[in-house]
């Protein structure tokens, strides 16, 4: 299969998004790819990230492509899980401690850090409103994260999310308590649960 067909196939698989890394992993030269980009009116969305001109901009997916370890968390995770009707003004991500988040902060992204051994606790994936799949913490982990960061987040946001969570059929209280213990917020969470359950 010639390189143009490979690129077209990748574009189709990725909903119109491509990274230079994906292309070079397929054995296609940068020059051949840049020629394809120019001929097909693709746009540069970020360093090494290209998107078809007919694709709606998806900033969440762009953040994911910029850093594979960025996991959507806090208010952004609540939004992605339909736990709040407020679309976040700033997206929130969590990265491993030691990662340099300056690029994200330049774009107005709230960056939280966590120890490496807790980074993948509760990791899941959901679709953005534009249909692209991104990493996000599950609902239980998100509630615990909000409690951990309670000085930076309105408590009303947490209380509303917890009330919504308790009514959900897919809630997993065992995971919620497991995460609360791992993240050292069980003593704060338990009184809320006792009132609501």
Q: Is 73 in a helix, a strand, or coil?
A: coil
Assigned domain for 14 exists: yes
Same domain, 105 and 138: yes
> What confidence tier does 102 reach under pLDDT thresholds 50, 70, 90?
confident
Mean pLDDT for the stretch of residues 39-49? 89
Same domain, 35 and 102: no
DSSP string, 74-124: HHHHHHHTTS-SPPPSS-EEEEETT---HHHHHTT-EEEEE-GGGTTTTEE
Q: Is the pLDDT of residue 179 over 90?
A: yes
Same domain, 84 and 115: yes
Assigned domain for 61 exists: no
Q: Across-strand partners of 43?
A: 51
Instruction: Report if pTM > 0.85.
Output: yes
Same domain, 16 and 87: no
| Mean pLDDT, rounded, of the chain | 90
Predicted pLDDT at 144: 96
Same domain, 120 and 92: yes
Same domain, 78 and 50: no
What sign does the dihedral 116-121-122-124 (CA atoms) show? positive
Same domain, 36 and 87: no
106 or 43, greater pLDDT? 43
Predicted pLDDT at 60: 93
Assigned domain for 135 exists: yes
Range of the domain at 34: 3-55
d(CA 189, CA 180): 7
- Total domains in the fold of the chain: 2
Assigned domain for 81 exists: yes
Check residue 19 and report its DSSP letter: E
Assigned domain for 174 exists: yes
Same domain, 71 and 37: no
Same domain, 11 and 49: yes
Q: Is 150 in a helix, a strand, or coil?
A: coil
Assigned domain for 100 exists: yes
Assigned domain for 60 exists: no
Mean pLDDT for the stretch of residues 174-179? 96
Last residue of a domain, one of 13, 35, 55: 55
Q: Is the pLDDT of residue 76 over 90?
A: yes
Same domain, 112 and 181: yes
Mean pLDDT for the stretch of residues 104-122? 91
Mean pLDDT for the stretch of residues 146-167? 88
Same domain, 105 and 71: yes
Same domain, 28 and 78: no
Assigned domain for 126 exists: yes
Say if residues 144 and 185 touch (Cβ distance below 8 Å): yes
């Amino acid at each position: 299969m010639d390189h143009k067909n490979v690129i077209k196939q990748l574009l189709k698989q990725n909903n119109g998004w491509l990274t230079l890394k994906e292309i070079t992993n397929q054995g296609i030269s940068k020059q051949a790819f840049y020629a394809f980009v120019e001929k097909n009116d693709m746009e540069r969305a970020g360093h090494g990230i290209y998107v078809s001109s007919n694709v709606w901009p998806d900033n969440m997916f762009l953040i994911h492509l910029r850093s594979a370890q960025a996991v959507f968390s806090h208010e952004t995770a609540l939004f992605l899980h339909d736990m709040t009707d407020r679309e976040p003004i700033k997206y929130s991500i969590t990265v491993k401690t030691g990662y340099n988040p300056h690029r994200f902060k330049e774009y107005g992204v709230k960056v939280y850090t966590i120890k490496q051994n807790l980074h993948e606790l509760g990791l899941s994936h959901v679709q953005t409103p534009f249909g692209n799949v991104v990493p996000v913490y599950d609902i239980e982990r998100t509630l615990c994260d909000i409690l951990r960061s309670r000085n930076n987040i309105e408590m009303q946001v947490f209380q509303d999310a917890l009330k919504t969570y308790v009514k959900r059929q897919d809630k997993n209280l065992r995971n919620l308590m497991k995460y609360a213990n791992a993240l050292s917020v069980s003593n704060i969470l338990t009184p809320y649960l006792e009132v609501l359950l």
